[in-house]
Copies of this chain bind each other. A is one copy, B any other.
Amino acid sequence: MFLESVTDKKYVIQSVDTALSVLLEVSREPGQSLSSLARNLGETKQKTLRMLRTMEQRKFIQRAEDGGYNLGNAILVLGTSASTQIDLVKLASPVLETLGQKMNETVQIRIRDNTEALCIAKFEPSRDLRVHAVVGRRRPLHAGSSKILLAFLSDNLIARILPDTLNRITGNTITNRSALMRELMNIRKQGFCISHGEVSDQLVSVSVPIFAVDGSVLAALNVAAPAFRTQKSDLDRFVSLLTEAAKGISRGLGWVG
């Protein structure tokens, strides 16, 4: 009801909905007490308790020795099951691995989740100094390599997605709306996006689009690395490696380039 589809609100069943909220809150900050959870959720303790009990019995939640609530084994199982069900992750996982080892830097796949970029898969190299990535982390769309997720959308949609003011994250973040639109056009033209310290000062990042069957951009494949050890030649290499890999994934999803 905001952007795109979103199924009918009237079909939402409240208790289930709050149960999901509890699950997400436990995920966000594990080990919380009942009271803490209830407070953070704005729910009563009693309601929260019953949710937790229900899910504890099904192993979706498990308690630590200190009584704190954590996610349970069932979630573990669901999680691995999900990664084999979601076509994108299933297809991309092996690619991500070989790609990451070739570049020896952190690689991520991000999708656009409404007005934010969401990391759904990652690879981190084994070297000591590396960019840290977290599956589930959200980032604004207007900064860094996430811009690639905007670049191929209609101006109309972009306008609705972008917040009124573009938050400055580092000195290099683009906060001017028309400057951003110009940059997006540039990205669309060249087919990739290179960001120099737009999100974190010392990092550079390269991203390329992954296409769906219909030619729309489904996700972004990107590499992030410390600036000091990344030369122009590395960036060029990253661009071509990423582009190749992304094409492979896109084709696997039915895209015909």
Taking Cβ atoms with an 8 Å cutoff, the residues of A that contact B are 6-9, 11-13, 15-17, 19-20, 23-24, 27, 30-31, 49-51, 53-60, 62, 70-83, 85-86, 89, 111, 113, 118, 120, 134-136
B76 touching A76, Cβ below 8 Å: no
Number of copies: 2
Q: Determine the distance from Cα of A8 to Cα of B6 in the docked complex, in whole angstroms.
A: 36
A10 to chain B, nearest CB (A): 9
Q: List 28 A-B contacts (CB under 8 A).
A: A6-B57, A7-B53, A7-B56, A9-B57, A11-B50, A12-B50, A12-B54, A12-B57, A13-B15, A13-B50, A13-B54, A15-B16, A16-B19, A27-B78, A27-B82, A27-B85, A62-B86, A70-B85, A73-B82, A73-B113, A73-B120, A75-B79, A76-B79, A76-B89, A77-B118, A78-B136, A79-B83, A80-B134
Q: Determine the distance from Cα of A6 to Cα of B17 in the docked complex, in whole angstroms.
A: 24
Residues of B within 8 A of A81 (CB): 27, 30, 71, 75, 135-136
Of the residues B15, B73, B136, contact of A77 by C-beta under 8 Å: B136
A82 touching B75, Cβ below 8 Å: yes
A11 touching B71, Cβ below 8 Å: no
A110 to chain B, nearest CB (A): 11
Q: What would 9 more interface pairs be, CB under 8 Å, given A11-B54, A16-B55, A20-B55?
A: A6-B57, A9-B57, A11-B49, A11-B53, A13-B54, A24-B74, A70-B86, A71-B82, A73-B120
A82 to chain B, nearest CB (A): 4
Instruction: Find the residue from A13, A82, A89, A113 having the highest chain B CB count within 10 A.
Output: A82
Knowing A17-B54, A57-B6, the reply to whether A80 touches B135 (Cβ < 8 A) is yes
B19 touching A78, Cβ below 8 Å: no
Q: Determine the distance from Cα of A30 to Cα of B78 in the docked complex, in whole angstroms.
A: 11
The 5 closest A-B pairs by CB, nearest first: A79-B79, A77-B136, A11-B53, A71-B82, A80-B135
